[in-house]
Structure formats: C-alpha cells, structure tokens
Amino acid sequence: MISIPTTFWLLLAEASDAANKVGGNAPAKPQGAQGIFDTMLPGLVIVMVLFYLFMIRPQKARDQQLRSAVDNLKETDRVVTIGGIYGVVTNVQRDAGTVTLRVDESSGTKIRVNTSAIARVITDEDKAE
C-alpha cells in the first residue's frame, strides 16, 4: 500500500513531467514561481482534501458523540475520566457543569469532576468486551 506522502510525491513528479513536456506548437511555460505553483496546486488540494476526510471529519464525529453522551449523563452511568479514574455517576449538576462520581464501592469514596473531565461513558457493549 502506498502512503499519502508517497502518493503526493508521485503526483507531483507526474505533474512536473507533464509540465516539462512540450508537444506540438504549444508554447513552453516559464518555470518561474508561477510554473511551480501551477504544478504543485493540484497535489496540495488533494492532500488537504484527504487530510480533511481521514483526520478532521472522523474526529469531529467522535467529539460530537462524546458531548452528546456527557450531556445525557444520569445516575448509575459508568464513566472514565481523562485521568483514568473509573466511577459511577451519583449526581449531575448541569448548571454548574460538575458530576459527582463514586469511585470506591466499599468505602463509598466520591469525587467531583467537571463534565469536561469525562473521557468516556461505559456502555453495556464496553462491559461485554
């Protein structure tokens, strides 16, 4: 499989070869700054589109999914914080943006964290794995 940077350089080389070949009565293009820009522009556009499709769009979807899960938190939901602490939600204060988690079943230890500190909401599918 060819990686994206390799593909970019192959496209750039092909565009450069096509620009250097002058066929028939076509006038030769000057190879100044404008000529280099014309040959690199299609490659750059392709790289930017691929970057958006494979990196930015999926990350936005994951962020949106996490935000909706955090907005719909309720008591007895299991969560993991960004610090790696597993806990069970005991209280949600939406106006203050905080969640109280029970982190130890035997002693009943609780901590309060911001909703932005929740990295993942554990679902039944996650428990099965």
Best CA proximity match to 42, nearest among 78, 82, 14, 65: 14
pLDDT at residue 11, as a whole number: 66
Is the whole-model pTM more than 0.85? Answer: no
- Region of poorest pLDDT, from 35-44, 63-72, 73-82, 83-92: 35-44
Q: Can you name the residues that pair with 121 across neighbouring β-strands?
A: 79
pLDDT at residue 35, as a whole number: 73
How confident is the model over 4-29, as a mean pLDDT? 61
Residue 17 has pLDDT above 60, yes or no: yes
Please report the domains of the chain, with CATH numbers, ordered by start residue.
Answer: 4-70 (no CATH), 74-128 (2.30.30.30)
* Average predicted confidence (pLDDT) for the chain: 83
How confident is the model over 83-102, as a mean pLDDT? 94
Rounded Cα–Cα distance for residues 65 and 87 (Å): 20
Higher pLDDT, 92 or 29: 92
Residues with Cβ within 8 Å of residue 110, at least 6 apart in sequence: 90, 100, 101, 102, 103
How confident is the model over 69-93, as a mean pLDDT? 94
